[in-house]
Amino acid sequence: MASANIVEITDSNFDQEVVKSSLPVLVDFWAVWCAPCRAIAPHVEALAGEYVGKIRVGKCDIDSNPQIPSQFEVRSIPTLLVFKGGQVVGQLVGAVPRAKIEDLIKKAL
């Protein structure tokens, strides 16, 4: 996670960073050992920069933060969830093309 436009989502800050956010939030559930997660990371980072002020982007390391992925039944990674008003409004699973991630974001705006 090497971007100023991406916030680290943890079990302890999820409520503040996601549920209480005035903007829609894209959360990338990932792990260091996950090759497909690394494959989509540049797309997620680029889109975080392109949609500054319109959507927040966060990454949640499932190994360090097991509660939130469990709460949202994340069974496979990468999983991208979009939250709006604290509720899940969209989901993608797997190493999907950048266009699919962008479509997910646009639907939440």
34 is catalytic: yes
Q: Which of 37, 60, 74, 82 is catalytic?
A: 37
- Residue 15's nearest CA partner among 25, 1, 2, 5 is 25
60 is catalytic: no
Rounded CA-CA distance 22/18 in Å is 9
Question: What is the CA angle 68-10-71, rounded to 5?
Answer: 5
Q: Which of 34, 40, 57, 92 is catalytic?
A: 34
Catalytic residues: 34, 37
